[in-house]
Amino acid sequence: MRYSGFKVFTEGLFGNKGWRPAWRDPAPKAEYDAIIIGGGGHGLSTAYYLAKNHGLTNIAVLEKGYLGGGNIGRNTTIVRANYFLPGNSEFYSHSLKLWEGLEADLNYNVMHSQRGLINLFHSDGQRDAFARRGNAMVNQGDDAELLDRDGVRALLPYLDFEQTRFPIYGGLLHRRGGTARHDAVAWGYARGADQRGVDLIQNCEVTGIDVENGRVTGVQTTRGAIRAKKVGIVVAGRSSQVAAMAGLRLPIESHILQAFVTEGLKPVIDHVISFGMGHFYISQSDKGGLVFGGDLDFYASYAARGNLPMVEHVMEAGMTLMPMIGRAKVLRSWGGIMDMSPDGSPVIDRTPVDGLYIDCGWNYGGFKAVPASGWCMAHLMATGQPHEVARRFTLNRFATGHLLDEEGTGSQHNLH
């Protein structure tokens, strides 16, 4: 079924009785050409591009819960291409271009909104660093504008510019940055993959990975054994557990990241604003809620809920930056399990087991990567070769020293 304005109109006339489920609910087959473990954003986009770009349609996505129940439905939806390092730059640039054509490609409204992202700076040194980052973005072919204080004031008059600890010197504006509706992205890719014949199998937890003579032969699941010569592990915060089923020990530590949303308000914040010095960022959803968050809770956790010190810290940072939000009521807070890598950058690579591939290490920034990650993981699984824009996301780069340390803080688990 194609979605369109006309379809919405005609369905409205006839009692909305013509809508059908957006994807099938198939039972697992005994064997597939390829299996993707994990039905989050990255797993679903991988399946979609395997089918669309490489014609592989006898494939399955195995999801232990329901589609979109993981981080893909828990993030704060920021989409941007403001990376600095070669290796990251071209990848996120590719991803943003895919975002820009995504709704037409998927025939699905993911509410991608390029409302502009502003990263604030608070000192001369930080201004230099942002100018340099902006130049890297422009060299990559993306957009960046350095705003001075008055430039920021014209766009964000409600900020507290005079705060004594972090007075606002200016900001880096990335006009093509913005937000999207997170679960719609999962649903859009799911529907697109299903339409091309991919089996999306929910309530199917992978409990073992079968390896014979160094080659993957299939997986064990709560719905029986399934054979496949190619298996992709795409399970975000659970990467260490699933990789351990094949005897692998990953450079990943799982941490919680919290987020918050207020009651719905009239439009008041038009952009995505990032206040890095205070570990705070905010945007307003199309429903009107202020969506905001901060930093990790900073210790390994699988609890999917955070602790109060970070709640307090985020609220304080928000009040410091924009005291006007003090009267908004917080509706909910939640946490997601982040697959943190030592250098803060991801992995899309083969593993030492033949036919077994892994896509992980997305840290707190894997939402914007959903299109390009699926694109590149599909390329890797179909051709056996890394995609050009993801060739530096290797699993062994920590051993060889080819780090992608975007923040420049070092290659250590507790620093990102």
Partner 1 sequence: MRLTCPLCGERDRREFYYYGADDYLRRPAEGAPAAAWDDYLHNRDNPAGETRDLWYHEAGCGQWLAVMRNTVTHAVLAVDLVAPVAQKRGRK
Ligand X SMILES: Cc1cc2nc3c(=O)[nH]c(=O)nc-3n(C[C@H](O)[C@H](O)[C@H](O)COP(=O)(O)OP(=O)(O)OC[C@H]3O[C@@H](n4cnc5c(N)ncnc54)[C@H](O)[C@@H]3O)c2cc1C
Instruction: Note the residues at the interface with ligand X (CB under 6 A).
Output: 37-43, 62-65, 69-72, 74-78, 205-206, 234-238, 242, 257-259, 293, 336, 338, 362, 364-368
104 burial (CB, 10 Å; 0-12 / 13-18 / 19+) is: exposed
Of 220 and 241, nearer to partner 1 (C-beta) is 241
95 binds, options ligand X, partner 1, none, Cβ within 5 to 8 A by partner type: none
Residue 237: φ, ψ to 5°:
-60, -20
Q: Which is nearer to ligand X, 42 or 191 (CB)?
A: 42
303 binds, among partner 1, ligand X, none (CB under 5 to 8 A by kind): partner 1
195 contacts which partner out of partner 1, ligand X, none, CB within 5 to 8 A by kind? none
CA distances from 289 to 200, 354, 413 (A): 32, 47, 33
Touching partner 1, residues 390-409 (CB under 8 A): 398-399
Nearer to partner 1, 182 or 238 (CB): 238
User: How far from the centroid of its chain's Cα atoms is residue 51's Cα?
Assistant: 21
Q: Is residue 412 within the footprint of partner 1 (CB under 8 A)?
A: yes
Cross-strand pairs, 262: 330
- Tell me the closest approach of the beta carbon of residue 149 to ligand X, in angstroms: 26
Please tell me the number of Cα atoms within 13 Å of 26 on its side-chain side. Answer: 16
Query: How many angstroms from the chain centroid is the CA of residue 277?
Result: 22
Q: Which residues of 156-191 are buried (b: 16+ CB within 10 A; e: fewer)?
A: beebeeeeeebebbbbbbbebbbbbbbbbbbbbbbb
Mask of contacts with partner 1, 324-343, x by CB under 8 A?
------------------x-
For the CA atoms of 225, 226, 227, 231, the dihedral, rounded to the nearest 10 degrees, stands at: -120
Pick one of 300, 324, 402, 408: the residue that binds partner 1 (CB under 8 A).
300
Q: Which does 140 bind (CB under 5 to 8 A by kind): partner 1, ligand X, none?
A: none
Q: Which does 240 bind (CB under 5 to 8 A by kind): ligand X, partner 1, none?
A: partner 1
Question: How is the beta sheet containing 272-275 ordered, strand by strand?
Answer: 145-148, 170-174, 117-121, 272-275, 280-284, 289-300, 253-264, 330-340
Rounded Cα–Cα distance for residues 190 and 21 (Å):
12
Name the minimum Å distance from CB 280 to partner 1. Answer: 17
Q: Which is nearer to partner 1, 30 or 308 (CB)?
A: 308
Site string for partner 1, 171-210 (x = CB under 8 A): ----------------------------------------
Residue 78 forms beta bridges with which residues? 179
The stretch among 92-100, 225-233, 234-242, 270-278 that binds partner 1 (CB under 8 A) is: 234-242
What's the closest the beta carbon of residue 310 comes to partner 1, in angstroms? 9
342 binds, among ligand X, partner 1, none (CB under 5 to 8 A by kind): partner 1
How many residues appear in the chain? 416
The residues that bridge with 145 in the sheet, in sequence order, are 173
The rounded radius of gyration (Å) of the Cα atoms in the chain is 21
Vertex 44: Cα angle to 43 and 48 (nearest 5): 120
Record the tokens describing residue 169, joined without a space: 């010197």
Select from 250, 369, 370, 381 the one that contacts partner 1 (CB under 8 A). 250
Binding flag, residue 252, partner 1 (CB under 8 A): yes
CB 240 to partner 1: min, Å: 4
* Residue 411 binding partner per list partner 1, ligand X, none, with a CB distance cut-off of 5 to 8 Å that depends on partner kind: partner 1
Residue numbers of the site for partner 1 (CB under 8 A)?
238, 240-241, 244, 249-254, 298-303, 307, 309, 342, 398-399, 411-414
